[in-house]
Amino acid sequence: MKYEVTDLTKVRRRPERAIYDRDLVHSILDEALVAHIGFVDDAGVPRVIPTAFSRIGEDVVIHGSTRNLLMTTLAKGGRACITVTLIDSLVAGRSGFGCSMDYRSVVIYSSAEVVPDSEKPDCLERIVQDIFPGHRIRDHRENELKATLVLRFPIREVSAKVRDAGCLDVEDDYASDRWAGRFPVSLEIGPAENCPRLGPEVVIPEIAAGLPSRKK
Amino acid sequence: MKYEVTDLTKVRRRPERAIYDRDLVHSILDEALVAHIGFVDDAGVPRVIPTAFSRIGEDVVIHGSTRNLLMTTLAKGGRACITVTLIDSLVAGRSGFGCSMDYRSVVIYSSAEVVPDSEKPDCLERIVQDIFPGHRIRDHRENELKATLVLRFPIREVSAKVRDAGCLDVEDDYASDRWAGRFPVSLEIGPAENCPRLGPEVVIPEIAAGLPSRKK
């Protein structure tokens, strides 16, 4: 299954790296911990805010305070650009041009829909389970839910870009005496440090030993 | 030394996390591998593009193809928002509200100055040395330099935001039987895999065994 290419998502630079495959887009979104969301504020200034997010089906879902500029601006329905980037390696080439990175990125153009109050608890639970599978939290309180905006952005206009080439030098550079190589980069999530104020009845859950890999 | 707080950089949400300290801003920029740069395109659409960057003194410097939309749009002097984010931990709290992340981020509002041809080689060398200290590349070729735009963004309007709190729950949650903890997150850069096409005269450099830590 592929996403439709639109004028906005057509990759002009290095189109050979552009991918519109749904499974690939999903896998990049699911592995990432933060998205960088761009919007234009009321004064016309571009702003980019990092934020935790989850993919739920064909939506990117974020949540935040009802007093947060990103949330309140986007709740009005303005355009957003949601960018997610995973760095896979640093490539030291034989020339400046040959120095690069292997990466996987996704860019989504979308506008927010405000998640109605009735769906908020379910949505927030899915966000928690996305990051901490199996983690049990207490029920939300009414005042907490009221203070929280949940926004969903339908994934329709989207492109992924992937570089997975390692060293890629100008042909006549390969015979030279310059060294080249790639340094693998990965995001490591260690085992949990317990909260120093755990209650006496607490059972340490399985995930404390280590979260399951986000790379599927 | 502190950066001046402006209307754009005044952090309104959780101002206790806002920091304008120059050394802290520099340390976050220097540790990060990519920035997410936001700009408004000619049609008024916000766009966010991930890109490698270096801090050189009080400038953020990026480079790219003269055919790249990000580069050509920003070269015209339009406003940019440069955001850099480091995730330090995932925090599993006792409530949805208590689930969070420890992070360090920097947001810069700036406009590009085009680096003149005469300064390009020095600038590009500093970018290479920033990522691969000690790495020796061959001289740039005239056509390569011509195809490369180098932009610098003065760091003047800038704020950093830091959460380093670990578990932070509502006071009466601490006594409950729910578990809470923080999972440390780090970006690991492994030792290099040599390019499979190394020339016969190549001496493997010291950095191949591992790049020095970007965390100063």
CATH code (residue B185): 2.30.110.10
Q: Which residue has the higher pLDDT, B85 or B15?
A: B85
| E-assigned strand segments in chain B | 18-19, 34-40, 46-52, 54-56, 59-65, 79-92, 100-111, 113-114, 148-154, 157-163, 181-189, 193-194
| Residue A32 belongs to some domain of the structure | yes
In this prediction, residue B211 carries a pLDDT of 97
Tell me: the pLDDT tens digits for A15-42? 777 789 999 999 999 999 999 999 999 9
**Does the beta-carbon distance from B183 to A191 stay under 8 Å?**
yes
- pLDDT higher for B214 or A153? A153
Q: Which of B179, B202, B207 to mutate to test the interface with A (most CBs of A within 10 A)?
A: B179
pLDDT the model gives residue A16: 76
Residues of chain A short of pLDDT 70, as ranges, are none
Look at residue B204 and tell me if it is in a domain: yes
Q: What is the pLDDT of residue A215?
A: 86
* Predicted complex ipTM: 0.95
Chain B: closest CA distance from residue A189 (Å):
5
- Which chain B residue lies closest to A105 (C-alpha atoms)? B50
CB contact under 8 A, A188 and B188: yes
Q: How confident is the model at residue B182 (pLDDT cuts 50, 70, 90)?
A: very high
Per-residue model confidence as pLDDT tens digits over B40-66: 999 999 999 999 999 999 999 999 999
Quote the CA–CA distance of B150 and B120 in Å, as a whole number.
Answer: 7
Selected residue of A143, A195, A211, A213 to mutate for chain B interface (largest B Cβ count, 10 A): A195
Is there a contact between B75 and B149 (Cβ–Cβ < 8 Å)? yes
- Do the chains contact at B183 and A211, CB–CB below 8 Å? yes
What is the count of structural domains for chain B? 1
pTM: 0.96
User: In chain A, what residues touch B197 (CB-CB under 8 Å)?
Assistant: 167, 174
Containing domain of residue B106, as a range? 15-209
Asked if the model's pLDDT at residue B17 lies above 80, the reply is no
Residue B130 exposure: Cα atoms within 13 Å on the Cβ side = 23
pLDDT of B15 reads 78
Please indicate whether, in this complex, the C-beta atoms of B189 and A83 are within 8 angstroms of each other.
no
Residue A9 domain flag: no
List chain B residues with CB under 8 Å of A208: 179, 181
pLDDT of A198 reads 97
Measured between beta carbons, the chain A residues lying within 8 angstroms of B143 are none
Residues B173, B94 contacting (CB under 8 angstroms): yes
B177, B183, B186, B197, best to mutate vs chain A, most A CBs in 10 Å: B183
Handedness of CA B210, B212, B214, B216 (dihedral sign): positive
B-chain residues within 8 Å CB-CB of A33? 87, 90, 101, 185
Over residues B8-29, mean pLDDT? 88
**Is B214 part of any domain?**
no
Q: Using pLDDT thresholds of 50, 70 and 90, give the confidence band for residue B86.
A: very high
Q: Is B129:B201 a contact under the CB 8 Å cutoff?
A: no
Q: Is the pLDDT of residue B187 over 80?
A: yes
Q: Per mean pLDDT, which range of A194-208, B9-23, B102-116 is the poorest?
A: B9-23
Nearest residue in chain B measured CA to CA from A139? B95
- Contact (Cβ atoms closer than 8 angstroms) between residue B73 and residue B62: no
The answer to whether B156 and B110 are in contact (CB under 8 A) is yes
Assigned domain for B4 exists: no
Contacts of B82 in chain A (CB under 8 A): 48
pLDDT of A11? 82
B33/B53 Cα distance (integer angstroms) = 7
Q: Can you tell me whether residue A44 is helix, strand or coil?
A: coil
